[in-house]
Structure 1
Amino acid sequence: MLNSDLFWNITIFISTIIEWIVFKFVLDELNEHKKDKLIINTAIILNIILITFLNIININSNIKLAIGISIGYIFYIYNYKATIFKGLIINLVYWMILVGVDLISVNIILMITEIDSISGLLKNNIFRLEQIVISKLLIVSIIPIVKNLKYNIELKKIEAFHVIIPIIANILSVVVIFTLEMESVNKSYEQKITLLIVSSILILSNISLIKIIGSIVKSNTIKMENKLIREKMDIQYHHYLTMQESQLKVRKLYHNMNNHIVCIKKLYKGHDDANIYIENLKNELNCWESVISTENMILDIIVNEKKNICNINNIDFDVDINFSKCEFIDMIDICSIFSNMIDNAIEACMKLNDTERFIRIKGTIVKRIFVVKCENSKINQIKLRKNKIITDKTDSFSHGLGIKSIKSSVQKYDGEVSVDFSKDKFVIQIYIPLR
Structure 2
Amino acid sequence: MNDVLPDIPRIYTALAEWIACMIYISILSKRLKRSNLIIFSSIALVVQMTFLAITKNLPIIFWIPSMIVAVVLMFFFIYKSTYLNFLDAGYFTVKAFVVAELVASFQWQLHFFFWSSGYTGSLTEILLLISVYGVAFATIWFLEKRHIPGDGVMNIRQLELLSVVVIGIAVFGISNLSFVTSETPFSGQYAQEILNIRTLVDLGGFAILHAYHLQLSDLRIKHELKAVQYILQNQYTQYQQSKESIEMINYKYHDLKNQIIALRAEEDPDKRNAYLTQMEDDIKSYEAQNKTGNHVLDTLLTSKNMYCIKNGITLTSVANGELLNGMDIIDITTIFGNALDNAIEYEKQIEDEEKRLIHVSVFSKKGFVMIRIENYFEGDLKLEGELPKTTKRDTNFHGYGLKSIQYAVQKYDGVVNVNQKDNWFELEILMPKLTK
| TM-score, normalising length: structure 1 | 0.73
Write the distance in 2 (CA, Å) between the matches of 1:354 and 1:281.
26
Write the distance in 1 (CA, Å) between the matches of 2:53 and 2:70.
13
Give the 5 Å matches for 1:199-348. Answer: 199-268=198-267, 270-272=268-270, 275=273, 278-279=276-277, 282=280, 289=287, 291-308=289-306, 317-324=315-322, 326-346=324-344
Aligned counterpart, 1:59: 59
Write the distance in 2 (CA, Å) between the matches of 1:77 and 1:393.
24
The sequence identity of aligned pairs, in percent, is 19
1:374 CA drift (Å): 3.3
Give the 5 Å matches for 1:69-218. Answer: 69-73=68-72, 76=75, 80=80, 85-113=87-115, 115=116, 121=118, 126=120, 138=132, 144=138, 145-146=140-141, 149=145, 150-151=148-149, 152=152, 153-178=154-179, 179-180=181-182, 184-185=189-190, 192=192, 199-218=198-217
Deviation per residue, 1:75-95 (Å, 9 max, x gap):
626964655654444333333
Aligned counterpart, 1:22: 19
Higher relative contact order structure (alpha carbons within 8 Å, sequence separation ≥ 6)? 2
**8 Å contact kept, 1:356–1:377:** yes
Amino acid at match of 1:221: R
Deviation per residue, 1:366-399 (Å, 9 max, x gap):
6876442334454443345554544465444444
Write the distance in 2 (CA, Å) between the matches of 1:308 and 1:41.
56
Moved more, 319-328 or 232-241: 319-328
Amino acid at match of 1:246: S
| TM-score, normalising length: structure 2 | 0.72
Please state whether the residue corresponding to 1:362 is helix, strand or coil. Answer: strand
Write the distance in 2 (CA, Å) between the matches of 1:172 and 1:48.
22
Provide closer, same or farther for how the CA distance between residues 183 and 16 of structure 1 changes in structure 2, counting only shifts above 3 A.
closer
Amino acid at match of 2:435: L
Please state whether the residue corresponding to 1:319 is helix, strand or coil. Answer: strand
Provide closer, same or farther for how the CA distance between residues 142 and 420 of structure 1 changes in structure 2, counting only shifts above 3 A.
farther
Please state whether the residue corresponding to 1:324 is helix, strand or coil. Answer: helix
Count of aligned positions: 406
The alignment yields a C-alpha RMSD, in angstroms, of 4.5
Amino acid at match of 2:266: L
Provide closer, same or farther for how the CA distance between residues 290 and 18 of structure 1 changes in structure 2, counting only shifts above 3 A.
same
Mind listing any 5+ residue stretches in structure 1 that lack a counterpart?
Answer: 1-10
Write the distance in 1 (CA, Å) between the matches of 2:255 and 2:103.
83
Amino acid at match of 2:19: V
**8 Å contact kept, 2:359–2:375:** yes
